[in-house]
């Protein structure tokens, strides 16, 4: 109370969701242990997988494979998003560019990036170039659609109001369209990140000398299920951490949005 006037009640703090996250993780481990104890032939439990992870960490194999996959994903993802954002803005802002590019964009969206892998290997060889190219393609196609959709979804009232106040097209684009499109762009980036991880694993299964997907293929030949589980867990954790980083960036860049 100040000067006899009651202060407005402070907004309730959002409850943290970490207890549910921990409970979900514990439940998942229990289900995993239960499946392993149920007698499924060859299905490894948490303990054998953890022991295999320690072995792979000790000899440096796991970190080497993780570094190789991360390098490919990061390179292809950054290149794909870096091209997708300006192309998406171009398509959303100019109808001519939309008419020229949209048919080709929709055509290539119907072709899975994984189907491009054999062609990329034949044309580009078996080094890093085809792997990065298919990751780039997966990230680009996911992000460009979201960016384009974000631009055309901007409320026309905001654009008209800015123009009435004397704003030029450049000012309208920079001050209205770009901020309003940012949530769409970041959602597209998160989708593109998942597509990038799926694509790199497939590419490494076909032609690679190192990487998480390559190690899974080698383990498959020897029916080494614990190693396969280790690689799957590492892929999931690496992708989850990268996704959380994008989600944090989204919250910081779009703090003006109302959230439930």
With CA atoms as reference, report the closest residue to 199 among 100, 94, 112. Answer: 112
Residue 17 CA to residue 20 CA, distance in Å, equals 6
* pLDDT single digits (tens) 115-125: 888 888 888 87
User: pLDDT at position 10, please?
Assistant: 47
Residue 189 CA to residue 114 CA, distance in Å, equals 19
With CA atoms as reference, report the closest residue to 174 among 141, 151, 207, 199. Answer: 151
Report the greatest alpha carbon distance in the chain: 80
* pLDDT single digits (tens) 144-165: 988 888 888 887 787 788 888 7
**What is the model's pTM?**
0.81
- Residue, of 176 and 82, whose pLDDT is higher: 82
**Residue 11: pLDDT over 50:** no
Average pLDDT over residues 196-212: 81
By CB atoms closer than 10 A (0-12, 13-18, 19+), residue 17 is exposed
With CA atoms as reference, report the closest residue to 88 among 140, 134, 133, 160. Answer: 140
Q: How confident is the model at residue 256 (pLDDT cuts 50, 70, 90)?
A: low
**Residue 4: pLDDT over 70:** no
- Summary mean pLDDT of the chain: 83
Domains contained in the chain, CATH given: 45-253 (1.10.3720.10)
User: Would you tell me how many other CB atoms lie within 10 Å of the CB of residue 134?
Assistant: 28
Average pLDDT over residues 113-140: 85
Residues 177, 149: contact at Cβ < 8 Å?
no
H-run or E-run covering 232: helix 225-253
User: pLDDT at position 17, please?
Assistant: 67
- Residue, of 120 and 254, whose pLDDT is higher: 120
CA 240 to centroid of chain Cα atoms: 9
* pLDDT single digits (tens) 53-63: 999 999 888 99
User: pLDDT at position 258, please?
Assistant: 62
**Residue 6: pLDDT over 60:** no
Exposed e or buried b per residue across 59-89, where buried means at least 16 C-beta atoms within 10 angstroms of its C-beta = eeebeebbebbbbbbebbbebbbeebbebbb
3-state SS class at 6: coil
**Residue 189: pLDDT over 70:** yes
User: pLDDT at position 12, please?
Assistant: 46
CA dihedral over 245, 246, 252, 258, signed as positive or negative:
negative
With both helix axes pointing from N to C terminus, report the angle between 225-253 and 61-93 in degrees, rounded to the nearest 10. 40
* pLDDT single digits (tens) 40-87: 777 888 888 899 999 999 988 899 999 999 999 999 999 999 999 999
Dihedrals phi, psi of 5, to nearest 5 degrees = -110, 130
3-state SS class at 2: strand
């Amino acid at each position: 109370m100040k000067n006899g006037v009651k202060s407005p009640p402070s907004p309730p703090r959002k409850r943290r969701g970490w207890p549910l996250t921990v409970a979900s993780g514990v439940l998942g481990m229990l289900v995993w242990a239960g499946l392993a104890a149920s007698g499924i032939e060859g299905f490894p439990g948490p303990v054998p997988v953890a022991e295999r992870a320690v072995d792979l960490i000790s000899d440096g194999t796991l970190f080497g494979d993780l570094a190789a996959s991360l390098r490919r994903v990061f390179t292809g993802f950054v290149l794909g998003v870096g091209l997708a954002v300006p192309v998406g803005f171009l398509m959303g802002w100019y109808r001519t560019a939309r008419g020229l590019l949209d048919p080709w964009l929709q055509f290539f969206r119907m072709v899975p990036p994984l189907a491009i892998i054999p062609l990329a290997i034949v044309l580009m060889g078996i080094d890093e170039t085809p792997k990065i190219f298919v990751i780039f393609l997966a990230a680009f196609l996911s992000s460009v659609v979201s960016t384009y959709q974000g631009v055309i979804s901007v409320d026309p009232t905001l654009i008209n109001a800015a123009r009435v106040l004397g704003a030029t097209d450049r000012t309208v684009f920079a001050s209205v369209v770009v901020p309003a499109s940012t949530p769409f762009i970041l959602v597209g980036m998160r989708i593109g990140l998942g597509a990038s991880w799926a694509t790199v694993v497939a590419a490494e299964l076909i032609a690679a000398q190192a990487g998480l997907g390559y190690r899974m293929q080698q383990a498959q030949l020897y029916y080494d299920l614990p190693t396969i589980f280790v690689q799957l867990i590492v892929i999931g954790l690496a992708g989850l951490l990268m996704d959380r980083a994008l989600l944090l960036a989204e919250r910081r860049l779009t703090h003006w949005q109302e959230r439930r």
